[in-house]
Amino acid sequence: MPKHRDFKDRLYGQFARIGKALGNPHRLEFLELLAQCERTVDSLATETGVSLANASQHLQALKQAALVESRKQGLFVYYRLADPAVFELCAAIQSVAQRRLADLERLVHEQFGDRATPEPVRLEELLERRRSSAVIVLDARPVSEYQAGHIAGAISVPVDELQRRLRQLPKNKEYVAYCRGPYCVYADRAVELLRGSKRRARRLLQGFPEWRAAGFPVEHGGDVWH
Residues annotated as catalytic are 179
Q: Give, in degrees to the nearest 5, the angle at Cα 92 between 175 and 77.
A: 80
Contact (CB, 8 A) for 203 and 78:
no
What is the distance, to the nearest Å, from the Cα of residue 194 to the centroid of all Cα atoms in its chain? 21
**What's the rounded Cα separation, in Å, for the pair 36 and 98?**
22
Q: Residue 52: which H helix or E strand, with range?
A: helix 52-64
**What's the rounded Cα separation, in Å, for the pair 58 and 197?**
42
**66 phi and psi angles, rounded to 5 deg:** 65, 30
